[in-house]
């Protein structure tokens, strides 16, 4: 049941390849894909933030391109 979900926050990311503008746009498109997926499950997203390439995932001090391309989902539920 999704009745206990209070807040859903999405943060979209991209790797460092491409221009800043392209990566910001890509982050927004990634977010929209997740918003649509969650909407199909009747889960409403309450906030979104596109980060572009500003928060890469580092492995051994180097950017992991695959892991940097992501949407982080934060869900807050009602406590009982």
**Domain regions of the chain by residue span:** 5-77
Give the model's pLDDT for residue 66: 97
What is the pTM for the complete model shown? 0.88
pLDDT in tens, 3-51: 688 899 999 999 999 999 999 999 999 999 999 999 999 999 999 999 9
| Calculated CA dihedral for residues 45, 51, 13, 2, nearest 10 degrees | -10
CA distance 52 to 20: 7
Q: pLDDT at residue 73 above 60? A: yes
| Cα Rg of the chain, angstroms | 14
- The CATH H-level superfamily of 5-77 is OmpA-like domain (3.30.1330.60)
Higher pLDDT residue, 31 or 79?
Answer: 31
List Cα–Cα distances, 32 to 8, 11, 39, 43, 47, in angstroms: 13, 11, 10, 13, 12
pLDDT level of residue 2 (50, 70, 90 thresholds)? low
Q: Which residue, among 4, 29, 2, 1, has the nearest Cα to 14 in the 3D structure? A: 29
């Amino acid at each position: 049941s999704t009745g206990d979900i209070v807040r859903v926050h999405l943060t979209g990311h991209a790797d460092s390849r491409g221009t800043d503008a392209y990566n910001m746009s890509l982050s927004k498109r990634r977010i929209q894909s997740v918003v649509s997926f969650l909407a199909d499950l009747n889960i409403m997203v309450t906030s979104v933030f596109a980060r572009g390439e500003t928060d890469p995932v580092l492995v051994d001090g180097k950017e992991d391109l695959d892991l940097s391309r992501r949407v982080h989902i934060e869900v807050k539920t009602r406590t009982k």
